[in-house]
Structure 1
Amino acid sequence: MLFANQRLPLISVSLVQGKAIGGGAEICTACDFRLMTEESEIRFVHKHMGIVPGWGGASRLIQIIGPRQALKLLSSAQGIHPEHALSIGLADDILSSTADKAMEEAQTWISSYTKGPAETIRAIKKVVTSGREHALVDSLRKEKDIFGTVWGGPVHLQALSKVLKRN
C-alpha cells in the first residue's frame, strides 16, 4: 500500500493490494485517492478488538463516505470489497492489473491529476484542503490568498502566453 497524508502539499494515493485491515484501513482514509485491485479488501476491525479507530480513520471515513455509511462499516466490521467501496465512494477506481503491474497502472491513473507544474498542483491541493478543513468564510479567504500566490507567477504567465498565441 502506498501512503501519503492528505495534508501533504501534493496529491496522494493509496493502492490496496490484498487486505487493508484495522490500521491499514485507517491509512487508506488519509490519502486523497484510494485505488483497489480486484482481489483487495478494506476492513475496519476495531470493533472486534474492543476499540475504535484512533489514528483519525473514523473522522476521515465520515468525510469520505458520510456518517451513515461510516457507521455501517465501523459497527459491522465487514470487509469492503472493491465494487462496494467504489459504489459508496471509498474507492476511486478498481485496477484490473495483476499484482506485479498494479503499481504501474496506479501511476498511470494518478498521472492525469498530478501532471502539470508542481506549483499549481500544490496550490490546488491547498485550496481543496482548506475547503475540507475550514468553515466556508475562512475557506473563501484562504482560497483568495492561495490564488494570490500563483496569479501573475511564471506558470500563469506562460499559460497566458500560450493562449494568446493560439488566438
Structure 2
Amino acid sequence: MPVTLTFPEPHVGLLQVSRPQVLNALSWEAMQAFGEAVEAARMADLRALVVTGGGRAFIAGGDLKELAAYPTEADGRRMSRLMTRALTALESLPFPTIAAVNGPARGGGSEVALACDLRVLAENADLGFVQVAWYVTPGWGAGQRLLRLVGYARALEWLLTGKVLSPQEALEHGLANRVVPAGEALPAALDLARGIAALPPTVSRAIKEVLRAGLTLPPATAARLEHELFPPLWAAPEHVEAVRRFASRKRTG
C-alpha cells in the first residue's frame, strides 16, 4: 500500500506515505489513498495524528514520471481537486495533526507539511517551495497557507524564487515547531502526539477550534467562540478535580 494508517499509541494515528523508491512522490494511486487515509483517521478514535514518509524523504511532491502522461488542463484540474480535497480534510480534522518531516519535503510535500497543524523537522530535512521550477503555482492550497503563516511579501518571494528552507530557517520563520537530529523526527512527533493524546479530547479539540477560527473569522466572532467554549470546560470534571487537587495542596503545604 502506498499510504497506510496505523495506530502506534492509544488515540494516536500514524499516516505514512511509503514509496521510498521515488522519495515518496505521489502517484494517482497514492493521492487517492492519502485522501482515504485522512477520512479513515477522521472516523477513528484519535486525539492526534502524525503524518510522515517512509525511508529518507518526507514527500517529494507529485510523481512527475507518472504525471507526465497527463498533460492537459483537465488532468491538472483533476489532480488539484483530488489533493486540495485531501489536504483540506487533513487541515480540518478536529484533533491536532503533526508533520514528522524526516527528509526533503519538496513541492507537493511542502504542501502536505503546511496542511498539518504542527511540524517537527529533522536536521537533514527541508521545506522546498519549488513549484516555480516547473512553471506552476502551488495547486493544493499551500499558497494560502504560506501567506497566513509568513505574510504576503515573504510568501511571494519564496514562491517566485523556489525557496528551499533549511530546518533552522523554517524554525526561525515559524514553519517548524521543533528541529531534531536526523532520524528523530518521527519519534519526536510521536512523543508530542502522546502528550496531546493524554489531554481530555474536549480540551485539545477546543484549543484547535479556537485558534483556527481566528484564522478565518473576524476577531469579534472568534472571540465569541472562545467565550462559548470556555464555560463547559470550566465545569467539566477534569477541571473541577484539577482545581480541587491544587486547593488541597495549598491547604496542606
Partner of 2:141: 56
User: How many residue pairs are counted as aligned between the two chains?
Assistant: 165
* Residue 239 of structure 2 is aligned to residue 156 of structure 1: yes
**Greater RCO (Cα-Cα under 8 Å, separation 6 or more):** 1
Contact kept in structure 1, 2:102 and 2:186, CA below 8 Å: no
After superposition, the Cα gap between the structure-2 partners of 1:165 and 1:6, relative to the gap in structure 1 and judged at 3 Å, is farther
Aligned counterparts of 1:46 and 1:140: Cα–Cα separation in 2: 37
| 1:114 Cα deviation from its structure 2 partner | 5.1
Aligned counterparts of 2:236 and 2:175: Cα–Cα separation in 1: 36
Partner of 1:125: 208
| 1:7 Cα deviation from its structure 2 partner | 2.2
Bigger Cα displacement from structure 2, 38-47 vs 102-111 = 102-111
Residue 53 of structure 1 aligns to a residue whose secondary structure is coil
Partner of 1:142: 225
Listed as ranges, the matches of 1:16-31 within 5 Å are 16-31=101-116
**Unpaired stretches in structure 1, ≥5 consecutive residues:** none
Aligned counterparts of 1:41 and 1:10: Cα–Cα separation in 2: 25
2:213 partner letter: S
Equivalent residue in structure 1 for 2:124, among 39, 46, 68: 39
Deviations 1:20-40 (A, max 9, x none): 111111111111111111111
After superposition, the Cα gap between the structure-2 partners of 1:35 and 1:102, relative to the gap in structure 1 and judged at 3 Å, is closer
Aligned counterparts of 2:153 and 2:196: Cα–Cα separation in 1: 29
- TM-score, normalization: structure 2? 0.60
Partner of 1:15: 100
Contact kept in structure 2, 1:95 and 1:106, CA below 8 Å: no
User: What is the aligned-residue RMSD (CA, Å)?
Assistant: 2.0
Partner of 1:108: 191
| 1:110 Cα deviation from its structure 2 partner | 4.7
Equivalent residue in structure 2 for 1:72, among 149, 152, 157: 157
Larger Rg: 2
Aligned counterparts of 1:110 and 1:67: Cα–Cα separation in 2: 31
Deviations 1:57-106 (A, max 9, x none): 1111111112222112111113211111112211122111x42x431122
Residue 151 of structure 1 aligns to a residue whose secondary structure is helix
Bigger Cα displacement from structure 2, 133-142 vs 65-74 = 65-74
- Percent of residue pairs bearing the same amino acid type: 30
**Unpaired stretches in structure 2, ≥5 consecutive residues:** 1-15, 17-50, 53-86
After superposition, the Cα gap between the structure-2 partners of 1:66 and 1:112, relative to the gap in structure 1 and judged at 3 Å, is farther
After superposition, the Cα gap between the structure-2 partners of 1:114 and 1:75, relative to the gap in structure 1 and judged at 3 Å, is farther
